[in-house]
Amino acid sequence: MKKKDVRLVSVLTGMMLVGGLFAACSDEEKEGSVPEPEKYSPYITQVLDFRPAPGQFVNGMPSWKEGDTQETMNQKVLAAIGNNKKGMISLGGFGGYVVVGFDHTIENIAGKRDFRVLGNAFYAEANPNPDMTRKGGSCEPGIVMVAYDKNKNGKPDDDEWYELAGSEYNKETTMKDYQITYYRPDENKEPVIDDDAPHIADKEYIRWTDSQGGEGYIAKNVFNVDNSYFPQWISDPNITFKGTLLPDNGVNEGTGEEEYWVLYAYDWGYADNVPNGDEGSTFDIDWAIDKKGNRVSLPGVDFIKVYTGVNQNCGWLGEVSTEVCGIEDLHLLVE
């Protein structure tokens, strides 16, 4: 009962939000003749970098074509998720990231959430595990980092980045300064089939090693066999990512031979972790912490980075990969 109530409330809240947005749009249209244009855009206006980790939707969202470079891929990402387009990009496995910017500084207003990160997370209607109280479905949490352009050079410098510490930040199950390296695959190699996993086309497709002495593979699944899972505009033989590693959030709740993956949401503070209408998709710049874990007080942010925070392969679903559909400055949107 309680769980249903909570869900109902969140659905209603979502509907109210959507309703509010529509109302705002029509109000603006009505006032079209009044010369009071918005000074700044509430949406992403620039994409500075896009470096997904290997994954089944890499080279597809956005689509890579022969001749594309980092610069043209950045433009494609902007065309997809910038300026309120609400398309979608996939960041691939752990560490894969996008860095975006705005035409103004998103203000940090005290006591208020400041921006929303749109993803494609949703809650499952059913769960074979009747005892589960956590919300889950397709939740693929990404870490959010922010940069305030303190030296006003129009760029996010290394010492200007801060992580937003979400609900898992201080837990022992979360690993700081985790590092992973993915190795470019030989696309013509003999696939390694798993007789017990009919949905896997190559279980040893893209190898990775990590800073903990671990190793594994991004598997190729039968649903996405035609595209390479390794970002094709990057010519390096391997790519390395570093960041905060969240614990695995996918659980196979299936009984018997049937796989039934539920990807659970974390409590708060992650991208692509809860549905876009939920308050949990909004962020407070006051959650920023420095590399030592100390709170920092930022007047606002000029750049935002989102990266996949989990390194997990979920059977036929494939790797957990954060998707991003847009970012909104909440203070510039009419409430």
Which residues contact Ca ion by CB under 5 A? Answer: 108-109, 112, 114, 120, 140, 149, 151, 153, 155, 157, 272, 284-286, 323
Cα separation, 322 vs 66, whole angstroms: 25
Which 8-state DSSP code applies to residue 226?
S
In the complex with Ca ion, the residue whose CB is nearer, 120 or 129, is 120
In the complex with Ca ion, the residue whose CB is nearer, 65 or 150, is 150
In the complex with Ca ion, the residue whose CB is nearer, 120 or 181, is 120
In the complex with Ca ion, the residue whose CB is nearer, 31 or 157, is 157
Pair type for strands 115-118 and 313-314: unpaired
Cα separation, 307 vs 133, whole angstroms: 27
Collapsing DSSP to helix, strand or coil, 175 comes out as strand
Residues 50/308, Cβ–Cβ less than 8 Å: no
Write the CA distances from 167 to 15, 72, 103, 263, 268, integer angstroms. Answer: 25, 36, 30, 16, 5
In the complex with Ca ion, the residue whose CB is nearer, 44 or 325, is 325
Rounded least distance, CB 133 to Ca ion, Å: 22
Rounded least distance, CB 320 to Ca ion, Å: 8
Rounded least distance, CB 321 to Ca ion, Å: 7
Question: What are the tokens at 200?
Answer: 């896997």
Rounded least distance, CB 248 to Ca ion, Å: 15
Rounded least distance, CB 207 to Ca ion, Å: 24
Quick one: the chain helix, strand, coil %, rounded to 5?
A: 20, 35, 50
In the complex with Ca ion, the residue whose CB is nearer, 153 or 235, is 153
In the complex with Ca ion, the residue whose CB is nearer, 259 or 284, is 284
Rounded least distance, CB 313 to Ca ion, Å: 15
Question: Any idea how long the chain is?
Answer: 335
> 10 Å Cβ neighbour count for 321?
27
Cα separation, 54 vs 208, whole angstroms: 10
Question: What are the tokens at 328?
Answer: 């909104």
Nearest to 306 by CA among 101, 60, 87: 101
In the complex with Ca ion, the residue whose CB is nearer, 179 or 282, is 282
Pair type for strands 200-210 and 142-147: unpaired
Rounded least distance, CB 268 to Ca ion, Å: 14
Plot region of 317 (φ>0 → left; ψ -120 to 50 → alpha; else → beta)? alpha
Rounded least distance, CB 30 to Ca ion, Å: 31
